[in-house]
Amino acid sequence: MEALFYTLCLQHIPHLGPLKMAALIDQMGSAKNVLLFARQHQYYGLNTFETRAAFNNRDALMQIAEAELTWARKNQINVIGLEDPSYPLLLKQIPDAPCVIFVKGHLPPSGQHTLALVGTRRPSDRANVHVKQILQAMQQVQNTVVISGLAFGVDRMAHEQALTLKLPTWAVMGTGLNTVYPALHRALAHSILDQGGAWISEQGHKSELHPGIFPKRNRIISGLSEAVVVIESTCKGGSMITARLAQEYNREVFALCGRPDDSTASGCHALIKNHTAQLIESGQDIIQAMQWNKSPQNYNPPQREPHLTFKNIWNLFLKQDCWSIEALYDTEVENAATIAEALFYLESEYFIKSLPGARFQRM
């Protein structure tokens, strides 16, 4: 908790992005050391007035961090640092991963097939047909999660179709989790939580809405996803940023082809022409390209044995298929930290899968 607290302090220093923050923490040994003992020559070139003032006003930063944690507790929001075992593994792999994320809802760290659907805010009528067809195909794949950005247009279509088809969906928000933007999507956002999905943001609850937060949000969409599908986009759309970042992060990018004279397809055409994206015609193309028809749904773990360290927890699942995390704690076969570590291991190795409501089931 101390590391998380001081990382939150650093997150509110102007011009200190995740790359520079990680470099400072690495040099100084901890976020606490950065805040308490850094000197001007160690600021990695952060010699602006705002940054120096922030480092010299540690008490204010600590008050902000404490307010964030208090607000999160009151609103049932998880504040997850990079070193937390519940931090999403795919997101942790990107070089500019957020040092802290705020999560409301159910966000397993691994064990899912994560697919982002992105596109223009002004899609054609055909876009919804494409979204529906792709997600219907994803119903064949176990543990598929649909990711998008809760914006108008394709984002909304992706979330709505996922809910209709009973697929969990994660909304990556540019705002803090106290604000649903756009406001017209409040009902949709709450439906996402009601059906076992999640809201995700790196922004604190007092962050201000400005255009620069959305490209930062797009990198999280790409980072969380095994694959990104651009449904429709102009050449200057925000989805092009998401696609470019996905390629940089070594994630698969797919795009649909439209009419040559259709401006809403021009971005997709550009991605395909410059080999950033693979051309797809259906959801089955994605499944085959990603080989999701082979794993993990056809994976058969009963012939294996988990690591001896986690044998006590695994034995509980052999006696009873499904457990809530509270019930596991109540067994007292291990302490809470060991149980959390065991669940993370068993899920990542496909011995168990996570369910809504902090429950786990033997596969």
Domain annotation covers residue 95: no
Domain annotation covers residue 103: no
Q: Are 100 and 5 in contact (CB under 8 A)?
A: no
Four-CA torsion 204, 46, 92, 173, nearest 10 degrees: 30
Closest CA to 167 of 114, 239, 128: 114
Average pLDDT for 144-161: 97
- Please give the Cα distance from 339 to 315 (Å, whole number): 12
Do 229 and 163 share a domain, yes or no? Answer: yes
Report the sign of the C-alpha dihedral through residues 208, 214, 216, 219, in that order.
positive
Do 314 and 285 share a domain, yes or no? Answer: no
Do 48 and 141 share a domain, yes or no? Answer: no
Do 156 and 12 share a domain, yes or no? Answer: no
The whole domain housing 240 covers 113-290
Domain annotation covers residue 266: yes
Q: What is the pLDDT of residues 280-319, one digit of tens each?
A: 999 999 999 999 986 444 444 444 566 666 788 888 888 8
Q: Are 66 and 73 in contact (CB under 8 A)?
A: no
- Where is the domain boundary, 258, 290, 322? 290
Do 214 and 327 share a domain, yes or no? Answer: no
Q: What is the pLDDT of residues 14-65, one digit of tens each?
A: 878 888 888 888 878 889 988 887 655 455 555 566 677 777 788 999 999 9
Q: What is the mean pLDDT of the chain?
A: 87
- Please give the Cα distance from 187 to 189 (Å, whole number): 5
Residue type, 217: R
Domain annotation covers residue 84: no
Do 272 and 346 share a domain, yes or no? Answer: no
Do 144 and 262 share a domain, yes or no? Answer: yes
Do 282 and 306 share a domain, yes or no? Answer: no
- Please give the Cα distance from 294 to 307 (Å, whole number): 24
Q: Six-digit token pair at 33? A: 């050391």
Kind of pairing between the strands at 169-172 and 352-355: unpaired
Closest CA to 352 of 324, 326, 314: 314
Domain annotation covers residue 196: yes
Residue type, 243: A
Helix (H) or strand (E) holding 278: strand 278-280
Predicted pLDDT at 290: 93
CATH number at residue 358: 1.10.10.10
Do 140 and 284 share a domain, yes or no? Answer: yes
DSSP-assigned letters across all residues of 66-92: HHHHHHHHHTT-EEEETTSTTS-HHHH
C-alpha distances out from residue 42 to 17, 97, 161, 291, Å: 15, 22, 49, 47
What's the angle, vertex CA 93, arms to CA 338 and CA 202, rounded to 5?
85
pTM here is: 0.78
Q: What is the pLDDT of residues 194-248, one digit of tens each?
A: 999 999 999 998 887 777 788 899 999 999 999 999 999 999 888 999 999 999 9
Domain annotation covers residue 207: yes
Domain annotation covers residue 93: no
CATH number at residue 239: 3.40.50.450
Task: Give the total residue count for the chain.
Answer: 363
- Where is the domain boundary, 290, 313, 339? 290
Domain annotation covers residue 228: yes
- Where is the domain boundary, 14, 47, 74? 74
C-alpha distances out from residue 131 to 23, 138, 163, 262, Å: 40, 11, 12, 18
Predicted pLDDT at 302: 41
Show the DSSP H helices in 176-265 as ranges.
Answer: 186-194, 213-224, 238-248
Number of domains in the chain: 3
